[in-house]
Chains A and B, each alone.
Chain A
Amino acid sequence: MPDWEGARLHVVSGKGGTGKTTVAAALAMALAAEGRRTLLVEVEERQGIAELFGIAALPYEERRIASVAPGALGAIGAREPRGTRGAKREGEVFALAIDIEQALLEYLEMFYKLGRAGKALRKVGFIDFATTIAPGLRDVLLTGKACEAVRRKGPDGRLLYDAVVMDAPPTGRVSRFLNINTEVAGLARFGPIFTQSQAVMRVIRSPETMVHLVTLLEEMPVQETVDGVADLRAAGLPVGGVIVNMVRPPVLDEAAVLAAEGDHTEELALALADAGVGARPGRGGTRRAVPAATRKLVEPLLAQGREHAARVLLEREQRADVQALKLPTYELPLLAGGVDLGGLYRLAAALKEQGAA
Chain B
Amino acid sequence: MSTSPKKTGPDKAATDKSAPEKTGAEKIASEKAGADKAGPAQLHDPLAARQLDVDALIDDPETAIVVCCGSGGVGKTTTAAALGLRAAERGRKVVVLTIDPARRLAQSMGLTELDNTPRVVKGVGGTGELQAMMLDMKRTFDEVVLAHADPVRARQIMDNPFYQSLSTGFAGTQEYMAMEKLGQLQAEGSWDLIIVDTPPSRSALDFLDAPNRLGSFLDGRLIRILMAPAKVGGRSAMKFLNVGMSMFTGILGKVLGANVLQDLSTFVTAMDSMFGGFRERADRTYRLLQAPGTAFLVVAAPERDALREAAYFVDRLETDRMPLAGLVLNRVHSTGAPQLTAERALAAAETLESPDQEDGTASPEISAETEVLAAGLLRLHAERMQRITRERRMRDRFVSIYPDVPVVEVPALAGDVHDLDGLREIGERLNRR
Contacts and interface: CB of A to CB of B under 8 A. Distances in A.
A16 B201 contact: yes
B351 A275 contact: yes
A183 interface: yes
Contact of A124 (B37, B225, B365, B372): B225
Interface in A299-346: 299-305, 307-308, 310-311, 314, 336-340, 342-343
B316 interface: no
A268 to B, nearest CB: 6
Nearest to A294: B340
A65 interface: no
B257 A126 contact: no
Interface string A249-279: 0011000110110001001101110111110
Interface residues of B, number: 99
A252 B373 contact: yes
Interface stretch (A67-75, A76-84, A170-178, A201-209): A170-178
Given A188-B260, A301-B337, A252 B376 contact: yes
B169 A300 contact: no
A285 B210 CA distance: 75
B201 A170 contact: yes
A220 B217 contact: no
Contact of B414 (A117, A134, A221, A311): A311
B165 A187 contact: yes
Interface in A85-131: 108, 111-112, 114, 117, 120-126, 128-129, 131
B335 interface: yes
Contacts of A251: 376, 379-380, 383
A302 B378 CA distance: 10
Given A121-B248, A170-B72, A337-B34, A132 B172 contact: yes
B103 A223 contact: yes
Nearest to B258: A191
A304 B335 contact: yes
A278 B345 CA distance: 9
B222 interface: yes
A188 B359 CA distance: 83
Interface majority SS on A: helix, strand, loop or mixed?
Answer: helix
Interface stretch (B5-13, B88-96, B114-122): B5-13
Given A17-B306, A337-B36, A126 B9 contact: no
A235 to B, nearest CB: 13
A189 interface: yes
A332 to B, nearest CB: 15
What secondary structure prevails in chain B residues at the interface with A?
helix
B374 A272 contact: yes
B259 A274 contact: no
A212 interface: no
A304 B251 contact: no
Contacts of B351: 274-276
A180 B376 CA distance: 51
Nearest to B416: A219
A199 interface: no
Given A173-B171, A301-B337, A252 B377 contact: yes
Contact of A128 (B4, B252, B348, B380): B4
Contacts of A125: 2, 216-217, 220-222
A336 B386 contact: yes
Contacts of A252: 373, 376-377, 380
15 contacts: A124-B248, A125-B222, A126-B248, A128-B216, A187-B161, A187-B260, A189-B259, A220-B416, A267-B370, A272-B348, A274-B351, A275-B349, A303-B336, A336-B390, A340-B33
In the complex, the 5 A-B pairs of residues with the closest C-beta atoms, listed nearest first:
A191-B257, A17-B73, A16-B72, A300-B336, A135-B165
